[in-house]
Structure 1
Amino acid sequence: MRLQRLWLADFRNYSRLELELPPGTSLIVGPNGEGKTNLLEAIFYLATMTSFRVNSTEALIRTGPDVSEAVVRGEMAVDQREVLFEAALRSTGRSQFQVNRQRVRRRDLLGLAPVSIFMPDDLVLLKGGPGERRRFLDDVLSQIDPRLDAARADMDNILRQRNALLRQSGGRLDSEAAVTLDVWDEKLADVGERLTNARRGVVAKLDTKAVSAYKEIAVQAVPLDLAYESTWSPGGLKEALVQARSEDLRRGVTTVGPHRDDVAVVLDGRPARTHASQGEQRSLALALRLAAHRELEEATGQSPLLLLDDVFSELDPDRCRGVLGALQSEQTLLTTAGALPADIAYSARFRVADGRVIREV
């Protein structure tokens, strides 16, 4: 899969942009703050209907008088056919998405154009809280099977309803509230176990791929293990919810379930979050993203579009070479504000300045 043409209107700092992209690796260079990451964000948004930076649609629309909408369009080659993706982002009202001029929902779009993103902020996968690692897993799963994205949305809605009931109960349940809570427990157990089983499955696959990727990037073999950690027992989520009901009522919140789970990353027998060096953590973050990229490729049968946002800035020369050797895709877009490894091969070089993109090579 590759992006052939991109059009932007009033997206971030781009008032208008039309860009043609070749296969292979395209370098996108320029000082910080000129719009390099915005370009990758637009492409990622087109493929997933989400930003990897913000949750607010309004933040994606260019600031200016009479500007209330941004448009992102991309012509992609998918399975040897051309597919037109379009998004109209609105500051008020519902945004619209189309594929080949037909309106679609997020679940219809996911997986059509698989994409992988690598960012300096990926250190949060190691240093951040469990929510960052859960989000990482769910983002991978949603592109592999869009039904799991719907399951995650259903779970979030059920949790909101269940937590609202717990808070309203004030620590005590009458008979009517108890029946309603039983219903929410059934629903949460059903969707929660489905999502957890999928997460466990993808962690097992990522584990093998991450070990290989870390060896390629760090240029050394160090024992690495990924393990899914659940907050509830093998007896099932419904049973766990029943056992936790008193505590849930006391605290007014659901204390067990997939929304509390985590992924343990263990390097050389020790938790990477607390014991790995900065360089090791950065290599691990890249290895996790690369493992996800390879799993996505294997699961979808397509080469995902690879977006690399300034990933070489804090790597030593050996790790840079390791990353270059490990990253392979039909199409790669790589941004940088500084020097690049001397032996990097590329098809095109673009310079970004003040919301404009100029091809240099």
Structure 2
Amino acid sequence: MEAIGYLATLSSFRGAPSDALVRSGASSAIVRAEGEREGRQLLIEAEIAATGRGRVQVNKQKLARTRDLLGALRVSVFAPDDLELVKGGPAERRRYLDDALVARRPAFDSLRSDLDRILRQRNALLKQAGGRLSPEVEATLMVWDAKFIETGEALADARYELVQELGPALDLAYSQVAGRPVPVTVSYDAPWREQGLAAALEAARRDELRRGVSLVGPHRDDLVLHLDQLPSRTHASQGEQRSLALSLRLGAHRVVTDATGSPPILLLDDVFSELDPDRSAALLEHLPPGQTVLSSAAGLPPGASPELVLRVSNATIRPE
């Protein structure tokens, strides 16, 4: 399952660095998948290097850039730690939004990468300034500010538009998973957008120089969730938070499907171990159509009707 996810995103959805996916003592690992897309056979291969950069190819054609693989295979991952989307910090929710944007439009990944690079350079300059705005620092900061404003506002605009589409899908998904209609509201929290990023940076200049870090921008924004008009992070029960986390994944899956015209592969990574029987049954009942891969350490949940069951034991895979 992790291999399927890697071919879709070029990263482990479990958070492991790429070199940790290579067997100890080996120089590289190969992940290969055969499938069909729009009636065409598809062979995707990725080499994960223990050191240095790996390589990827599609139908035996090497890709000039590894990121060109994005979009060839799309997945929606449901995992036990999805609860952090609701009760964790803003970084988890920002990544959730950005991953959905990349799944809808793979070219968005370059925008995200550009922002990360610009932020690193800008933060390094602020730290180097040591609290003083010399003419040299000011001139260089103006250059990075211009890049940050252009890229940051484009990223925030894309996230905001996604959240507007996500709202109805999330509301529907929660009522299905919870088994009852409960109002769910979602909003994109970016206080700087009202005045614009340029004005916000100017207002924060002194504090940024003093602290040596970028204090405003899309890297500090959040996705705010309310359940029945109350903040879900602090007021929802554990069960409600789990239902909301599942609903976030289902909602994003539907938004991506609507945008691309084809459903991503659903990867359910042992999620039923964290759900009570009612929520497990509701999730199975309302899984969207398409290919689903389910892993479970405790056996299949009631109601599952798989076409194929594989058992993994002692590094051996065998059909049942």
Q: Same fold (TM over 0.5)?
A: yes
Deviations 1:23-67 (A, max 9, x none): xxxxxxxxxxxxxxxxx111100121111112511110122xx42
The 1:55–1:154 alpha-carbon spacing in structure 2 relative to 1, beyond 3 Å, is farther
Aligned partner of residue 93 in structure 2, secondary structure: helix
Provide the rounded CA distance (Å) in 2 between the counterparts of 1:292 and 1:256. Answer: 26
Match for 2:194: what amino acid?
Answer: P
Is 1:83 aligned to residue 42 of structure 2?
A: yes
In the alignment, which residue of structure 2 is the partner of 1:43? 4
Contact 2:11 2:17 in 1 (8 A): no
Is 1:145 aligned to residue 105 of structure 2?
A: yes
Is 1:206 aligned to residue 206 of structure 2?
A: no
Using the TM superposition, name which of 139-148 and 157-166 deviates more: 139-148
Q: Quote how far apart the aligned CAs of 1:127 are.
A: 1.3
In the alignment, which residue of structure 1 is the partner of 2:220? 260
Provide the rounded CA distance (Å) in 2 between the counterparts of 1:91 and 1:187. Answer: 33
Using the TM superposition, name which of 245-254 and 333-342 deviates more: 333-342
Q: Quote how far apart the aligned CAs of 1:79 are.
A: 1.1
Q: Quote how far apart the aligned CAs of 1:203 are.
A: 0.9
In the alignment, which residue of structure 1 is the partner of 2:22? 61
Q: Choose which of 158, 167, 190 in structure 1 pairs with 2:118.
A: 158
Is 1:94 aligned to residue 75 of structure 2?
A: no
Q: Which has the higher contact order (CA 8 A, sep 6+)?
A: 1
Is 1:236 aligned to residue 204 of structure 2?
A: no
Provide the rounded CA distance (Å) in 1 between the counterparts of 2:208 and 2:281. Answer: 50
Aligned partner of residue 11 in structure 2, secondary structure: coil
Provide the rounded CA distance (Å) in 2 between the counterparts of 1:144 and 1:45. Answer: 17
Provide the rounded CA distance (Å) in 2 between the counterparts of 1:87 and 1:329. Answer: 28
Match for 1:172: what amino acid?
Answer: R
Q: Choose which of 301, 305, 313 in structure 2 pairs with 1:345.
A: 305
Match for 1:85: what amino acid?
Answer: I
Is 1:300 aligned to residue 260 of structure 2?
A: yes
Q: Greater share of strand residues, 1 or 2?
A: 1
Provide the rounded CA distance (Å) in 2 between the counterparts of 1:330 and 1:270. Answer: 34
* RMSD over equivalenced CA pairs, Å: 1.2
Aligned partner of residue 312 in structure 2, secondary structure: strand
Provide the rounded CA distance (Å) in 2 between the counterparts of 1:352 and 1:168. Answer: 52
In the alignment, which residue of structure 2 is the partner of 1:285? 245
Aligned residues: 319
Provide the rounded CA distance (Å) in 1 between the counterparts of 2:15 and 2:272. Answer: 23
Contact 1:124 1:132 in 2 (8 A): yes
Using the TM superposition, name which of 156-165 and 308-317 deviates more: 308-317
Q: Quote how far apart the aligned CAs of 1:317 are.
A: 2.1
Contact 1:114 1:302 in 2 (8 A): no
Aligned partner of residue 45 in structure 2, secondary structure: strand
The 1:314–1:86 alpha-carbon spacing in structure 2 relative to 1, beyond 3 Å, is same
Q: Quote how far apart the aligned CAs of 1:339 are.
A: 4.0
Contact 1:87 1:95 in 2 (8 A): yes
Contact 2:208 2:215 in 1 (8 A): yes
Is 1:196 aligned to residue 196 of structure 2?
A: no
Q: Quote how far apart the aligned CAs of 1:106 are.
A: 3.9
Aligned pairs (5 A) from 1:321-340:
321-340=281-300
In the alignment, which residue of structure 1 is the partner of 2:277? 317
Contact 1:143 1:296 in 2 (8 A): yes
Provide the rounded CA distance (Å) in 1 between the counterparts of 2:310 and 2:190. Answer: 45
Contact 2:104 2:259 in 1 (8 A): yes
Deviations 1:190-218 (A, max 9, x none): 00010000000111111110110011101
Which 5+ residue runs of structure 1 have no aligned equivalent? 1-39
**TM-score w.r.t. length of structure 1:** 0.86
Identity fraction in percent: 52
Deviations 1:306-335 (A, max 9, x none): 100111122222211210111123211111
Deviations 1:219-262 (A, max 9, x none): 01111001000041422111111111111001100000000000
